[in-house]
Structure 1
Amino acid sequence: MSFMVNLALGLLFGIGLVVSGMSDPAKVLNFLDLFGTWDPSLAFVMGGAVITAFAGYRIVFRRPKPLAGASFHVPNSSAIDRRIIVGPAIFGIGWGLGGFCPGPALTAIALGAAGTYAFLPMMFLGMWLARMATARPVAAA
């Protein structure tokens, strides 16, 4: 059941990315080009997402547990460490250079967007390198 719920939500997210135009890297790059062909539509999409998420969290956390799980998985630490600073910085730089973030990049495969096939292998390589860099050594028994 949980897999089907996650699949449905992922498909809904992907459809939202395509409908909003966020699977087009030119849309993102134009948003970041403040003194050229600036396109403010990404700010409206992000604002709508923030408002929706804010309302959704308020409604969902009134429940004792999620519909498709035993408990809510909420971070229990508020410490700001090197990983919290470096990870988002690398993500932002990659997003600014490539015009993709992971969700729209995966969505753009089906659309055949230019640059997708170069971006995706590098994204997966970066994810693997991050996992290797943060992996804890296995203690010998």
Structure 2
Amino acid sequence: MNAIITLLAGLLFGLGLAFSEMTNPAVVIGFLDIFGNWNPSLIIVMASAIAVGMIGYFIKGKQLRPFLGSTWQVPTLRQIDSKLIIGSSLFGIGWGISGYCPGPGLTALVNNPNEGIYFVGALIIGSGLHYFQTKISHK
């Protein structure tokens, strides 16, 4: 059952990305280009995501445990540190340069394989470097 729910959630997420055109780097870059030819259409996508998140937190406040799980999986860190600032800055710079973030970037393997292969390759290499750096620093 968990696998089916995960598949359905992934399909819904993918459809949302495609419908909102977040899989199109030109639309994303147009949204991020506030001093140029700005395209504010992704504000609706962000507002929708925030609304869904708020509903989730509302449900969490009313339920002792999730419908399909034993415990709630909620981030507990509240500290803004250098790792958060550097990581979010690198994410934002990469998103602004390429027009892709990880979810829509994976769709580029099909929609635009000439660009997608570079993005996904860089994503894998960056994730691997972070993984090995974390392993080394925790020894």
| TM-score computed with the length of structure 1 as normaliser | 0.87
User: Is the alpha carbon distance of 1:137 and 1:67 closer, same or farther for their aligned partners in structure 2, counting shifts above 3 Å?
Assistant: same
CA contact (8 A) 1:24 1:113 kept: no
Who is 1:55 aligned against?
55
Correspondence list, 1:1-141, <5 A: 1-112=1-112, 115-136=115-136
Offset at 1:114?
Answer: 5.3
User: Is the alpha carbon distance of 1:85 and 1:115 closer, same or farther for their aligned partners in structure 2, counting shifts above 3 Å?
Assistant: same
Root-mean-square deviation over aligned CA pairs: 1.9
Offset at 1:36?
Answer: 2.4
Matched letter for residue 69 of structure 2: G
Matched letter for residue 53 of structure 1: G
Deviates more, 1:46-55 or 1:93-102: 46-55
Distance (Å, rounded) in 1 between the aligned partners of 2:83 and 2:124: 18
Distance (Å, rounded) in 1 between the aligned partners of 2:48 and 2:75: 24
Deviates more, 1:92-101 or 1:31-40: 31-40
Distance (Å, rounded) in 2 between the aligned partners of 1:138 and 1:106: 30
Distance (Å, rounded) in 2 between the aligned partners of 1:75 and 1:60: 13
Offset at 1:38?
Answer: 1.1
Instruction: Report the secondary structure of 1:135's partner residue.
Output: helix
Aligned-residue sequence identity (percent) comes to 40
Deviates more, 1:74-83 or 1:90-99: 74-83
Matched letter for residue 85 of structure 1: I
Deviates more, 1:117-126 or 1:17-26: 117-126
| TM-score computed with the length of structure 2 as normaliser | 0.88
Deviates more, 1:120-129 or 1:56-65: 56-65
Matched letter for residue 102 of structure 1: P
Alignment size in residue pairs: 139
